[in-house]
Amino acid sequence: MELMYRSTRNNQEKVTASQAILKGLAENGGLFVPEKIPKLTLPLEELAKMNYQELAYEVMKLYLTDFTEEELKQCIERAYDSKFDTEEIVPLVKVDGTYYLELFHGATIAFKDMALSILPHLLTTSAKKNEVKNRIVILTATSGDTGKAAMAGFADVEGTGIIVFYPKNGVSPIQEKQMLTQKGNNTWVVGIHGNFDDAQTGVKNIFKDKEAAEELATMGYQFSSANSINIGRLVPQIVYYVYAYTRLMKHEGMEAGERINVTVPTGNFGNILAAYYAKQMGLPVEKLICASNENRVLFDFFQTGTYDKNREFVLTSSPSMDILISSNLERLIYHLTGDDSEKCKELMDALAQKGSYTITEEMKAGLADFFGGYTTQEQTAQTIREIYKKTGYVMDTHTAVAAHVYGQYKEATKDELKTVIASTASPYKFTRSVMEAIDTKYTGMGDLKLVDELSALSQTAVPKAIEDIKTASVLHDTVCETEKMLSVVKKILKKDQL
């Protein structure tokens, strides 16, 4: 039976999976959600015998029901191949009794590769299925990792183009260098004067601008999204939580049905929402531990039931989580309302107009699956240092936020269940913050020298993604104000036509 998708803000808008992937965002700014969350159809014992690609098919086919078996398997094969530096795709590493799911072995050494390696193939397949003649332009905002991973995925993919907006002073130097050196005749990067939320709001406003859409359609373009608001980003992320569970069965002797906890460092809420969907599918997950940095908007939401973005924006050492508007939370809110799109729209309108909303007591009861915690800058650095000194394992700043919050959870609950921590980026992506956390002797050292020091310290090879940017030339230098984002898009596409 075909699984259809509805908008979180209008239950009457109903599309297929491929149409939802093509659109990215629903007509009135809502997000597409499945009419029902499907259940796993194979026993966990069977899934545990599969490799990553095989398991990906078994999970994703339940959501992408208008893709043929051949189409979906082809997308998976093209995505999860030699661009990952390990055959496992996502190794599960045991460190001091906790399991780290290393999601950073792809081309851009961050977890976004897990979904953005397959999204271009899902999108181009969707375009063919729906007889789209226009060139698809991916329009996306990034807090650091999505931009590079999306551009790497879409670079020179026929029939597509990609424009990435990022906060000019809100990403790490390596994240910025990765983006600005991206090759591809169909890739463009634009810095904005503002933060990630400004970039994300600007992109959403362009999507909602019907006049602009009509103008660009006459030029032969249509927009889609590579942010985690696109269901084609979210579905592939569900896979690796199921995979992690089956690796615990296969390599740690865990029995099927034994419950585990999952801890996720969270900014835009997509990665932990994927874990929530995995739980709803029947994966035996007890607690979803939501780890925030000092921007802590999600922590406060889980504590009070009020989501309030009216606060100081803090630039931290975990910049991919420096977010005050967690877009994917809207999907959870929709489910908490009992799939009431009118109520969900009312809350999202309040967020847009006042910067805050409060959920009902009944909805708040639905948050029982979650535990929220947050970590200060000092605690993040301390966690990196202590785990390295105790075990020799080096983690990035975002993973350290999750590790510290998991420690808070254990202390508060005395829960000893096996726990998987989503390790979302390589420490090489945030070399300065990581090395200075480990020892002050690295302070002031040059970035490239720090890379070599990290390699020696961690006894790991420097990733190809880092080697590549050492000598790469900067190819993108456009910067604009947020109110000029649409005019920059038009200028890029008009020039593209010449």
Q: Annotated catalytic residue: which of 14, 83, 112, 343?
A: 112
Q: Where are the domains of the chain?
A: 92-109+232-457, 135-219+463-497
pLDDT in tens, 305-364: 999 999 999 999 999 899 999 999 999 999 999 999 999 999 999 999 999 999 999 999
Residue 384 has pLDDT above 80, yes or no: yes
- Round to whole Å and give the CA distance between 110 and 112: 5
Q: Are 19 and 2 in contact (CB under 8 A)?
A: no
Q: What are phi and psi of 376, to 5 degrees?
A: -80, 170
pLDDT, tens digit (0-9, with 9 covering 90-100), for 22-80:
998 898 889 999 999 999 999 999 999 999 999 999 999 999 999 999 999 999 999 99
Q: Which long-range contacts (CB under 8 A, 24 or more apart) does 443-451 make?
A: 447/173, 447/174
Strand pairing of 5-7 and 10-15? antiparallel
Each residue's pLDDT tens digit, 89-141: 999 999 999 999 999 999 999 999 999 999 999 999 999 999 998 999 999 99
* Per-residue pLDDT reduced to its tens digit, 26-37: 988 899 999 999
Q: Across the chain, what does the average pLDDT equal? A: 95
466 is written with which tokens?
């880092």
Query: What is the greatest pairwise CA distance in the chain?
Result: 64
pLDDT at 227: 78
Name the packing angle between helices 69-79 and 119-129 (round to 10°).
150
Residue 484: C-alpha distances to residues 171, 488, 495 (Å): 21, 6, 16
Structure tokens at 404: 């510290």
The predicted model gives 196-210 an average pLDDT of 91
CATH of 92-109+232-457 among 3.40.50.1100, 3.30.750.24, 3.40.50.10540, 3.40.50.720: 3.40.50.1100
Kindly indicate the confidence band of residue 498, based on its pLDDT and cuts at 50, 70 and 90.
low
Predicted local distance difference test score (pLDDT) of residue 225: 83
> For residues 274, 279, 283 and 289, what is the CA-based torsion angle, rounded to 10 degrees?
80
Judged against a pLDDT cut of 80, whether residue 497 lies above it is answered with no
Residue 484 annotated among the catalytic residues of the structure = no
Architecture of domain 135-219+463-497: 3-Layer(aba) Sandwich (3.40)
- In the prediction, which pLDDT does 129 show? 95
Q: Decide if 92-109+232-457 and 135-219+463-497 have a common fold.
A: yes
Query: How far apart (Å, rounded) are the C-alpha atoms in residues 141 and 126?
Result: 22
Distance CA 282, CA 284 (A): 6
| pLDDT tens digits, 388-434 | 999 999 999 999 999 999 999 999 999 999 999 999 999 999 999 99
